[in-house]
């Protein structure tokens, strides 16, 4: 938020969001924004905001905005004492893994993730027993104990690259890729390798099982909802529409789209196609945030789904996070040390 021309926060919000947000809401949010900005200084805190945050929060309080990878990088670099993560728990945990001596706060304990909840550290240990010597790549959308059992992490912006490099570096003919089934299938499609998704670990076979990628059955509750039928209907109505989809969508949806990439990669792609109608198949706050920063952007609204977890992070809870220093993210040191190896390998790539 640039206040160079000395507008009050309320005036700024009113000018930017006044067309579609009621005045009482903006008044309340302006007060919260001012409080948070003051608390940030008192606590020597940095606020990291994921691209899926609601538009007023996203526009005002984060010192850095971005996708999971960019925010991990920012978390690794900060010299502040306190990191407030306006995102979900696995992201805040990643910040803590990289900054054991800093206080990391998440504004709501309900900000989970269906992918992170789809797999346990015990599941990963079982897979390792089934596939001895096969490297394990875990999506960053996992909890710290799962990362600790993994060899490398990746995000949606570097998943294929991480798998390619892991196959090469480990001199392995296989990689276990956890826990997002669709991302795994999309990576396999991009790399032109075969994939198996065992229904249960017991049926995962052995190291000789066919398939260069061994996946898992996790799904994102947001992205699994988009279908090729949605795309077909929109293309019928808007013949020149460009469809950009997050790689957590199904392989069919990705094949039917014009572009697939991380949240930040999608934003960059939108910026390259100003004026064209664009359909974003991802959490719908992101469309709001793109339009807020560039009202000329022609984003079609297919706002069927908000992420129920990202949606937990509000300005009020962020104010309370800084005011009461809650909720502090803790990662046991033995887990953190192992998880950091996997996260640092990802950052290095």
Residue 221 binding ligand SF4, by CB under 6 A: yes
* Closest distance to ligand SF4 from the beta carbon of 115 (Å): 5
Residue 253 binding ligand 13P, by CB under 6 A: no
* Closest distance to ligand 13P from the beta carbon of 246 (Å): 6
Q: For residues 215 and 218, which CB has a smaller minimum distance to ligand 13P in the complex?
A: 218
Residue 138 binding ligand 13P, by CB under 6 A: no
Q: For residues 67 and 181, which CB has a smaller minimum distance to ligand 13P in the complex?
A: 67
Residue 289 binding ligand 13P, by CB under 6 A: no
Pick the stretch among 3-11, 111-119, 130-138, 284-292 that binds ligand SF4 (CB under 6 A).
111-119
Residue 283 binding ligand SF4, by CB under 6 A: yes
Q: For residues 118 and 156, which CB has a smaller minimum distance to ligand 13P in the complex?
A: 156
* Closest distance to ligand SF4 from the beta carbon of 323 (Å): 25
Among 36, 115, 256, 280, binds ligand SF4 (CB under 6 A): 115
Among 309, 317, 321, 327, binds ligand SF4 (CB under 6 A): 309
SS (H, E, C) the chain: CCCCCCCCHHHHHHHHHCCCCCHHHHHHHHHHHHHHHHHHHHHCEEEEEECCCCHHHHHHCCCEEECHHHHHHHHHHCCCCEEEEECCHHHHHHHHHHCCCCEEECCCCCCCCCCHHHCCHHHHHHHHHHCCCCCEEEECCCCHHHHHCCCEEECCCCHHHHHHHHHHHCCCCCEEEECEHHHHHHHHHHHCCCEECCCCHHHCCCCCCCCCEECCCECCCCHHHCCHHHHHHHHHHCCCCEEEECCCCCHHHHHHCCEECCHHHHHHHHHHCCCCCEEEECCCHHHHHHHHHCCCCCEECCCCCCCCCHHHCCHHHHHHHHHHCCCECCCCHHHHHHHHHHHHHHHHC
In the list ligand 13P, ligand SF4, none, the entry touching 149 (Cβ below 5 to 8 angstroms by class) is none
In the list ligand SF4, ligand 13P, none, the entry touching 137 (Cβ below 5 to 8 angstroms by class) is none
Residue 55 binding ligand 13P, by CB under 6 A: no
Q: For residues 30 and 184, which CB has a smaller minimum distance to ligand 13P in the complex?
A: 184
Residues that bind ligand 13P (CB under 6 A): 51, 67-68, 141, 155-156, 220, 246, 248, 262-263
């Amino acid at each position: 938020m640039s206040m160079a021309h000395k507008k009050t926060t309320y005036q700024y919000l009113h000018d930017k969001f006044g067309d579609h947000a009621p005045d009482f809401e903006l008044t309340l949010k302006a007060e919260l924004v001012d409080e948070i900005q003051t608390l940030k200084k008192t606590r020597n805190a940095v606020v990291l905001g994921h691209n899926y945050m609601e538009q007023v929060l996203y526009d005002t309080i984060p010192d850095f905005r971005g996708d999971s990878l960019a925010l991990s990088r920012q978390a690794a670099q900060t010299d502040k004492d306190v990191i407030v993560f306006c995102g979900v728990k696995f992201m805040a945990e990643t910040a803590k893994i990289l900054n054991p001596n800093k206080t990391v706060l998440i504004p709501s304990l309900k900000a989970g993730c269906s992918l992170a909840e789809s797999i346990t550290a015990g599941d990963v240990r079982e897979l390792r027993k089934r596939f001895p010597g096969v490297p394990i790549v875990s999506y960053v959308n996992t909890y710290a104990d799962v990362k600790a059992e993994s060899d490398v992490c990746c995000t949606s912006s570097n998943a294929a690259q991480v798998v390619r490099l892991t196959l090469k570096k480990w001199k392995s003919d296989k990689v276990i890729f956890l826990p997002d089934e669709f991302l795994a299938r999309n990576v396999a499609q991009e790399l032109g390798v075969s994939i198996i998704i065992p229904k249960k670990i017991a049926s995962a076979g052995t190291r000789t099982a066919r398939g260069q990628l061994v996946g898992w059955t996790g799904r994102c509750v947001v992205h699994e909802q988009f279908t090729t039928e949605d795309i077909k209907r929109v293309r019928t109505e808007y013949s020149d529409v460009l469809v950009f989809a997050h790689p957590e969508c199904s392989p069919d949806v990705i094949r039917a789209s014009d572009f697939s990439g991380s949240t930040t990669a999608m934003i960059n792609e939108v910026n390259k196609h100003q004026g064209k109608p664009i359909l974003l198949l991802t959490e719908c706050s992101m469309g709001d945030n793109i339009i807020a920063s560039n009202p000329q952007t022609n984003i079609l609204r297919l706002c069927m789904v908000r992420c129920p977890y990202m949606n937990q992070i509000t300005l009020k809870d962020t104010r309370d996070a800084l005011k009461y220093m809650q909720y502090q993210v803790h990662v046991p040191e033995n887990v953190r040390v192992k998880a950091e190896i996997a996260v640092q390998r990802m950052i290095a790539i």
